[in-house]
Amino acid sequence: MFLNLYNQQIRVFLADATGDMSGVRMRLERVLRKAGMGVVSPPEHCTAMEARTLIGTCDCSVHLLGGVNIFDDSDEGVKSQAQIQYRAAKSFRDDDFKMFLWNPSGSIDEHNAYITAIRRDIVENTVYSQATSPIVFVEDLRTVMSINPKMNTDIGSADIFFIYNDADRDTAGEVLSMLQDIQQVTSLGINMSSSTSYTDYINSQLQASKMGVIYFDASMDWAMPFARQLWKDSGGKSSNVPLFVAANSSYATEQEMKALKGFMDYTLTEKSLIPLEIKVYFDKKILKK
């Protein structure tokens, strides 16, 4: 599954294509799946209502533009599933939903003149693309869909920047309460279902802190890839802000934690001892510089 830093998967409604574009659609679907995106394909003979329902579960839709008109906005009958689904997506109203129109030929001539009408009809949150291949198109789609609302949070200096998954907030709160008695701590709980982008805030707050801590108990599947990605994004071994992973031994094992060996320090211990382990690491890495 494609995961950005915050484990948000992009769900794509891949509309049916006209016969001349069926092969391109198959290749595009393979690339989307290999990119780890959630592909939603409409059933055979999908009604407009069914299409709108499926679209409502997705972040965006993709429509292939070939030699057969899928735009015709007259009421003289619908000619294809591609046209039904194009209309359904166009009528869908959601501020965060985007509609991608892909013309892989890159040209507009007498064989696909309707594309000119489509381009004139483009509104906000609609993206027209002439990408040269499915790989380029999917990368462009991922870039557009990864632009999320940013946090509006003040940055302040801190000894420790404590990051956890909101699913672990109960035990994280207990650890934080003990840690804040002995250190100046700024914390962030990441909500995986949120569309908010934490990237700028994390990067800025980490630089304003002496040390970063990634804590987890039950959310190991989130924490391990998150920690590795954050380590890379913050400069790896050349970073001047050390990162430390603190895991509750009630949920993780030493064998699982070995994935961090060689590039990140960590502790695996019972919850009550985690604040002390963080303090010891802080003294070793920061106070004894």
| Tens-place pLDDT, residues 78-88 | 678 999 999 99
- Of the listed ranges 49-53, 96-100, 197-201, 266-270, the least confidently predicted one is 197-201
Where exactly are the structural domains of the chain?
Answer: 11-145, 158-287
- pLDDT tier, 2 (very low <50, low <70, confident <90, very high otherwise): very low
Whole-number mean pLDDT of the chain? 86
- Of the listed ranges 63-72, 144-153, 180-189, the least confidently predicted one is 144-153
Q: What is the pLDDT of residues 194-246, one digit of tens each?
A: 656 678 888 889 999 999 999 999 888 888 888 988 998 888 888 889 999 99
Helix (H, G, I), strand (E, B) or coil at 159: strand
With tokens 């409502």, the residue in question is 56
CA distance 143 to 1: 16
Helix (H, G, I), strand (E, B) or coil at 150: strand
Given this chain, do its domains 11-145 and 158-287 carry the same CATH topology?
yes
Residue from 283, 225, 274 nearest 250 by CA: 274
- Beta-carbon-side half-sphere exposure of residue 168 (alpha carbons within 13 Å): 29
Please list, in sequence order, all residues whose beta carbon lies within 8 angstroms of the beta carbon of residue 184, skipping any fewer than 6 positions away: 157, 158, 159, 160
Per-residue pLDDT at 162: 96
Query: For the domain bounded by 11-145, which CATH number is listed?
Result: 3.40.50.2300
Q: Say which residue, 4 or 83, is predicted with more confidence.
A: 83
Provide the percentage of residues in the chain whose pLDDT is more than 90: 45
Query: For the domain bounded by 158-287, which CATH number is listed?
Result: 3.40.50.2300
How many residues are recorded in the chain?
Answer: 289
Helix (H, G, I), strand (E, B) or coil at 220: helix
Residue 287 tokens, joined: 């106070």
Indicate if the pLDDT at residue 74 is higher than 70: no
